[in-house]
């Protein structure tokens, strides 16, 4: 028979809310599980991920910072926007440091708060005997749920979520920047390659014209000819068998020399332009190699971004969780006048909250002691 895991059950409850019987069964299972010291140890170890996650995330932040420092030193002169991206990441890292400092204070306060919540409020609920006990506990739960954090941002949870979104946007934005630069450099490289091919063809054509029989005939032949009558042979690719009237050697030499001089001048200009284009292409090829290196380095810190965002997700609701639960409990019991009327589901919720409170309080204190803002 297939047994549904807790995670599978919670996932199913997102679309199919459980009925009261299923909720009670779930609470009883959880209570029974936490009665086992081995399972409590597993729970504590899972909660230890608070501190582990932050320490790993701090390392990840530094690794990304070091990566950008290296990229700016290598390629900042060729890709000016790299320095801006490095500065933006530095701002995110500073924000992280500030939030983690607040979270350490929050963990310390939460650890104290959890102990109060467990040993005073939850215990009072279980020990309530009269209508007056219920009224007093209801008020204390509401007061506790409205407790404000002095010196700690009240929206710390939102700050964690916003920082996670900002980091995700930063990562996606930098990849977009690399894509854009890559397209521009590729288009530039293609344009230069086409220009180089065109210049090579032009140079080849000019070299062929220099060796055509026309010029030797002009140099060695006799007769008279005007410069304009020879001009078409400079611009037209006429067959070698074309008849050319004999020129006098001096006139032919002058005409041929002028034409050859123009051809050499054009060819030399093409060679200079070709050299410039080839030098430009070499620089563009280096840019392409640089972009490939930048992308590979950024890809290498991809797991760090995932780790940071995962940690921020874990830390978002530390304070809100049990304060919100206190308010929820107050809403349940304020409608009752007799402790014997406490619903079974409510009693199980209180019992489970008490079982979770101590290991969670210990985990929060451990987190606060291990983190160095």
Q: What is the pLDDT along the chain (373 residues), one digit of tens a residue?
A: 445 666 677 778 778 888 888 889 888 988 888 888 888 888 777 767 667 777 888 888 899 999 999 999 999 998 999 999 999 999 999 988 888 888 788 778 878 888 888 888 899 999 998 889 999 999 998 888 887 766 677 677 778 778 888 999 999 999 999 999 999 989 988 998 898 888 888 788 777 765 555 445 444 444 444 444 444 444 434 444 444 454 445 544 445 455 555 556 666 777 788 888 888 888 888 888 988 998 998 888 888 878 777 776 665 565 566 667 777 888 888 877 788 888 899 899 999 988 888 887 887 788 778 776 5
Alpha carbon 192 to chain centroid distance? 33
Dihedral sign (CA 9, 15, 19, 23):
positive
CA distance 172 to 52: 26
What 3-state class would DSSP assign to 321? helix
What 3-state class would DSSP assign to 369? helix
Dihedral sign (CA 234, 236, 237, 238):
negative
> 144 near 330, Cβ under 8 Å?
no
CA distance 142 to 331: 9
Please tell me the predicted confidence (pLDDT) of residue 172.
Answer: 93
Nearest Cα neighbor of 306 from 88, 46, 57, 67 is: 57
| Beta carbons within 8 Å of 5's beta carbon, 6+ residues apart | none
In angstroms, the Cα distances linking 63 to 68, 163, 235, 290, 302 are: 9, 18, 64, 20, 11
Nearest Cα neighbor of 118 from 337, 342, 305, 325 is: 325
Please tell me the predicted confidence (pLDDT) of residue 227.
Answer: 42
Please tell me the predicted confidence (pLDDT) of residue 260.
Answer: 53
CA distance 77 to 59: 28
Please tell me the predicted confidence (pLDDT) of residue 225.
Answer: 42
| Beta carbons within 8 Å of 253's beta carbon, 6+ residues apart | 218, 219
Please tell me the predicted confidence (pLDDT) of residue 316.
Answer: 55
| Beta carbons within 8 Å of 160's beta carbon, 6+ residues apart | 99, 103, 312, 313, 315, 316
CA distance 141 to 122: 9
Both tokens of 321, joined, read 């969780």
CA distance 11 to 119: 32
Please tell me the predicted confidence (pLDDT) of residue 231.
Answer: 44
User: Whole-prediction pTM value?
Assistant: 0.63
CA distance 117 to 140: 10
Phi-psi region of 123 (alpha: psi -120 to 50; beta: other; left: phi over 0): alpha
Please tell me the predicted confidence (pLDDT) of residue 51.
Answer: 72
CA distance 111 to 245: 109
Nearest Cα neighbor of 116 from 316, 320, 314, 323 is: 323
């Amino acid at each position: 028979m297939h047994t549904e895991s807790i995670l599978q059950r919670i996932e199913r409850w997102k679309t199919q809310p459980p009925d009261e019987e299923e909720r009670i069964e779930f609470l009883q299972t959880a209570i029974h599980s936490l009665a086992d010291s081995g399972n409590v140890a597993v729970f504590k170890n899972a909660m230890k991920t608070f501190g582990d996650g932050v320490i790993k995330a701090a390392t990840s932040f530094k690794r990304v910072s070091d990566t950008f420092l290296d990229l700016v030193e290598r390629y900042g002169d060729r890709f000016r926007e790299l320095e801006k991206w490095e500065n933006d990441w530095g701002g995110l890292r500073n924000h992280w440091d500030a939030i983690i400092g607040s979270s350490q204070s929050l963990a310390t306060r939460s650890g104290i708060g959890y102990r109060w919540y467990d040993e005073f409020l939850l215990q009072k609920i279980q020990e309530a005997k009269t209508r007056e006990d219920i009224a007093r506990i209801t008020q204390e739960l509401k007061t506790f749920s409205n407790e404000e954090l002095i010196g700690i941002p009240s929206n710390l949870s939102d700050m964690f979520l916003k920082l996670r979104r900002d980091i995700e946007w930063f990562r996606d934005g930098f990849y977009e920047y690399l894509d854009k630069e890559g397209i521009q450099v590729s288009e530039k490289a293609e344009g230069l390659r086409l220009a180089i091919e065109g210049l090579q063809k032009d140079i080849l054509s000019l070299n062929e014209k220099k060796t055509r029989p026309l010029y030797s005939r002009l140099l060695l032949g006799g007769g008279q000819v005007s410069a304009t009558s020879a001009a078409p042979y400079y611009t037209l690719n006429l067959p070698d068998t074309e008849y050319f009237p004999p020129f006098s050697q001096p006139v032919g030499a002058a005409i041929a020399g002028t034409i050859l001089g123009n051809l050499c001048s054009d060819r030399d200009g093409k060679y200079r332009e070709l050299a410039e284009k080839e030098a430009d292409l070499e620089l563009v090829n280096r840019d392409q190699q640089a972009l490939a290196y930048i992308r590979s380095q950024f890809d290498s810190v991809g797991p760090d971004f995932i780790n940071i965002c995962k940690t921020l997700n874990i830390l978002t609701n530390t304070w809100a969780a049990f304060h919100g639960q206190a308010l929820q409990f107050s809403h349940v019991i304020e409608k009752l006048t007799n402790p014997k009327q406490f619903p079974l589901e409510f009693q199980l919720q209180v019992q489970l909250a008490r079982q979770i409170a101590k290991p969670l309080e210990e985990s929060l204190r451990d987190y606060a002691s291990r983190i160095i803002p």
